[in-house]
Amino acid sequence: MPPGFNPRQTIPKEIYVAAMGMKLQKLPKPDPFTPCHMFFYGSLMDTEVLQSVLGLPDRPAIVKGEIKGFSMKMWGIYPTIIRSEEGKISGTVWKVDSESEFLRLQDYETDAYTWCLCDIEQEDGAVLHGCRTFCWAGDANSRDLSDGSFDLARYQKYFKASVIRK
């Protein structure tokens, strides 16, 4: 780790994107918006984080699930996924009912991510088609990405407080 590294302090994604001078593309919002199931594989798997990001009065009910055709890479402390024929990712599922919720999720993910379509297999075996998840918006072979996996418990211990601001 570099001198002075503090694992409890995060660099917001939007600052990191600007500092790296990254040129990223973002898909436009769906027009018109229709409710959809979202797949989360990073910090949004934590219902308290999801509640805070969306300004919900209560913690949302989520379900465990899995998507195929993607593999995980790490962008610093942030997980991202890229298309991969043989990959699969575990995470959670939540239904977005309003365009304002979807736009808040998009803002939270920053321009480093774009939404893409996926099918989600829930833990009970049911498959949801035409769902969305946030994928890496840049080059899948970017030197900014490294192999790795997301550790939710580590995130909750060191970084969560900067998001929920309690």
pLDDT of residue 69: 96
Taking residues 17-40, report their average pLDDT. 67
Q: How many residues does the chain have?
A: 166
Is pLDDT at 116 greater than 70 in this prediction?
yes
Taking residues 52-67, report their average pLDDT. 97
Q: Specify the fold of 13-164.
A: Hypothetical upf0131 protein ytfp (3.10.490)
User: What percent of the chain has a predicted confidence (pLDDT) above 90?
Assistant: 76
